[in-house]
Chain A
Amino acid sequence: MATINLTRAVARDLRAADPARRGGLRRRLRRNATAYLFLAGAVLCFAVFSWYPMIREVIMSFQYTNFAGDTKWVGLRNYQRVLHDPDFWSAWRTTGLFTLFALVVGYAVPFALAVVLNEIRHARSYFRLLVYLPVMMPPVAAAFLWKWFYTPDDSGLFNAVLHAVGLPGVQWLQSSHTLAVLCLVLFSTWINMGGTVLVYLASLQGIPGELYEAAELDGAGLLRRVWHVTVPQTRLILSMMLLLQIVGTMQVFLEPYIITGSANDTTSVVYLIYQYAFNYDNYGSAAALGVLLLLVLIAFAGGYLWLSRRAEEE
């Protein structure tokens, strides 16, 4: 691409010739028609697979429907049914616990790791490559792999490791709800952290060295430099990743679906939507639960958009 140098006058002439600004009704009509022709494919796909399903979801939540297609308006009865289902609260408890553990493990660990990795001056590509490897595995294959690692008898990898250091084996997924959810979070962190670590690393590299220099001259020790320079400088990315992660973990499905099944009450909210729809053929309850989940997520997503707009302004 040749660099094009334009004098100011020529630039002004050209701006006047910009097809988007040139007048004439017929010309403008033609330009709009062309533009909408370019837009048509994407708009159609959005309409059929995003906008229409969204509206339909809300409508369905007030109806009784099933696969056979019988439809009846039932008002708020789906919502009542969902709210009185003991599985509903159990699913929210699991999802909430998953989100909480994911904050402790999946949020703090990648950031701490990125801060340490940023200080490493050798074999940097080795670390980047390895941490990103699990991200590139088909998630179902990785989930089954971990399910196998969690084998409750001593032939399982994790129990074999415990055994080797003289500790008794653990019933990872079967013993308690809390431990089972923690096991899911460990897997989830393992497979997802590559992306977050790389994003943090990129933002850490954007911190001007003079800030550390100045802090050090002022007598700030290592931890204070982390707290007063690193964290504030990456604050925006940190808060964006936080919201993204909360919204993401609230939608957890694959982990409980593959690794624990519905055993030990580890059904998550999205998994419960799936069960309502495809195991019980109850589309109305599935839609109502979807709307409820959406309301919760919108609060977080709204925060995310607000933050990214602020990031744009800076």
Chain B
Amino acid sequence: MSAFVTPTRTLISQAQLARPLGRTVYWTVFWVLTALFALAFLFPLYWMVSGGFKTPQQIIQTPPSLLPTSPAPGNFATAWRDMDLGRLILNTTLYAGGALAFQLVFDVAAAYALSKLRPVFGNGVLFAMLATLMIPTTVIVLPAYLTANDLPFTHWSLLNTPWAIWLPSVANAFNVFLLKRFFDSIPTELLAAAAIDGAGPLRTLWSVVLPMSRPILGVVSIFAVVGVWKDFLWPLLVLTDTSTQTVNVGINQLHVGVPENVFVAALAIASVPTIVFFLFFQRNIMAGLTAGAMKG
């Protein structure tokens, strides 16, 4: 990304910045912002981690101490054990992985069909999908819950099963839209060439379209994984059994009766997986985020 070098000028010209006054102002603003960001975004995380190290007396002490004077790392072990954090994190990872797989298979197939195979009523289907963008999931959460609890015709209940997370995640109009738009930009001639070589639609999708679509697949994958990690209301309803819950729901459910310092330690542990994920994929996540927003 060219974000790190700015050859084009911005609001303030290079010449103005090069002047002594400009330079002073620039560095003042720079250091103030640096400190402000650390205070606003790093300090709360530090406070959380250090709070996890405090003893029960220390965490309610006034005024609170900046450092845990007699660190109690045992809080983290207690939190891990008592709140069954390992299971919550494992559950969420499983849900996120499954949602990713289902979205990649079904949404990519659907977007490919709508973009390249163009069946009759294809536009009608696309419109019906896009219309769901106008209807936020929070509004239909009750009938969706009742449906998941008693599926039409089969009368199966998906409650407390991974399917309750995986299948609804496929109904993601934004992802279908992003994928279709990307596939639209792939020249039809290329697919026709593959067809002449005797490739069927599936083969064309696999060997021609998908290899060209890596960037958009990355974006959709990140949205899928982050979406499951951040969702709260839906899993709160469909995962009532503590052994099946996600991190968000589990923390909400299990915090009753847990001592403050242990609970803060649990919050710190719960935040580790996504933050590590972010540090690993930060470039892709940030690029995907802006690309998604621009195209949406």
A130 within 8 A of partner (CB) = yes
Q: B35-56: which have CB < 8 Å to A?
A: 37-38, 40-42, 44-45, 47-48, 51
Contacts of A237 in B (CB 8 A): 293
Judge whether A253 and B275 touch: CB under 8 Å.
no
- Give the residue name and chain of the A residue nearest to B112 (CB): A38
B182 within 8 A of partner (CB) = no
Judge whether B37 and A126 touch: CB under 8 Å.
yes
Judge whether B13 and A216 touch: CB under 8 Å.
yes
A72 within 8 A of partner (CB) = no
Distance A57 CA – B233 CA, assembled complex (angstroms) = 17
Interface centre among B125, B143, B226 (most CB of A within 10 A): B143
Consensus secondary structure, chain A interface: helix
Distance A42 CA – B140 CA, assembled complex (angstroms) = 19
Distance A294 CA – B135 CA, assembled complex (angstroms) = 7
Judge whether A41 and B30 touch: CB under 8 Å.
no
Contacts of B109 in A (CB 8 A): 38-39, 41-42
B219 within 8 A of partner (CB) = no
Select one of B41, B62, B189, B232 contacting A130, CB under 8 A.
B41
- Give the residue name and chain of the A residue nearest to B271 (CB): A137
B185 within 8 A of partner (CB) = no
Judge whether B278 and A49 touch: CB under 8 Å.
no
Judge whether A57 and B128 touch: CB under 8 Å.
no
Q: How far is the CB of B284 from chain A (nearest CB, A)?
A: 13
Select one of A42, A124, A128, A160 contacting B106, CB under 8 A.
A42
Select one of B11, B188, B232, B277 contacting A225, CB under 8 A.
B11
B29 within 8 A of partner (CB) = yes
Stretch touching chain B among A76-84, A96-104, A197-205: A197-205
Judge whether B289 and A213 touch: CB under 8 Å.
no
Judge whether B211 and A50 touch: CB under 8 Å.
no
Judge whether B135 and A138 touch: CB under 8 Å.
no
> Contacts A49-B171, A141-B271; is A14 near B106 (CB within 8 Å)?
no
Judge whether B13 and A136 touch: CB under 8 Å.
no
> Contacts A138-B270, A140-B247; is A202 near B138 (CB within 8 Å)?
no
- Give the interface size class of chain A: 35 or more
Judge whether A116 and B29 touch: CB under 8 Å.
yes
Judge whether B37 and A130 touch: CB under 8 Å.
yes
Contacts of B29 in A (CB 8 A): 116, 119-120
B151 within 8 A of partner (CB) = yes
Q: How far is the CB of A300 from chain B (nearest CB, A)?
A: 9
B192 within 8 A of partner (CB) = yes
Distance A49 CA – B234 CA, assembled complex (angstroms) = 12
Contacts of B168 in A (CB 8 A): 45, 49
Judge whether B30 and A120 touch: CB under 8 Å.
yes
Judge whether B196 and A270 touch: CB under 8 Å.
no
B290 within 8 A of partner (CB) = yes
A56 within 8 A of partner (CB) = yes
Contacts of B21 in A (CB 8 A): none
Judge whether B12 and A222 touch: CB under 8 Å.
yes
Judge whether A53 and B8 touch: CB under 8 Å.
no
Q: Which residues of A contact B (CB under 8 A)?
A: 1, 4, 6, 11, 14-15, 17-20, 31-32, 34-36, 38-39, 41-43, 45-46, 48-54, 56-57, 60, 115-134, 136-142, 144-145, 148-149, 153-157, 160, 163-164, 190, 195, 198-199, 201-205, 207-209, 212-213, 216, 222, 225-226, 229-230, 237, 247, 251, 253-254, 258, 270, 273-274, 277-278, 283, 286-287, 290, 293-294, 297-298, 301-302, 305, 308
In the A-B complex, the 5 residue pairs with the smallest Cβ-Cβ separation, listed nearest first, are A35-B119, A42-B110, A41-B106, A35-B117, A38-B113
Contacts of B191 in A (CB 8 A): 18-19
Select one of B26, B61, B167, B193 contacting A48, CB under 8 A.
B167
Judge whether A43 and B125 touch: CB under 8 Å.
yes
- Give the residue name and chain of the A residue nearest to B277 (CB): A136
Judge whether A139 and B248 touch: CB under 8 Å.
yes
B90 within 8 A of partner (CB) = no
B94 within 8 A of partner (CB) = no
Judge whether A199 and B290 touch: CB under 8 Å.
yes
Select one of A115, A142, A283, A302 contacting B11, CB under 8 A.
A115
- Give the residue name and chain of the B residue nearest to A65 (CB): B146
Select one of B33, B212, B267 contacting A116, CB under 8 A.
B33
Q: How far is the CB of A275 from chain B (nearest CB, A)?
A: 11
Q: How far is the CB of A51 from chain B (nearest CB, A)?
A: 7
Judge whether A42 and B45 touch: CB under 8 Å.
no
> Contacts A48-B147, A163-B63; is A136 near B275 (CB within 8 Å)?
yes
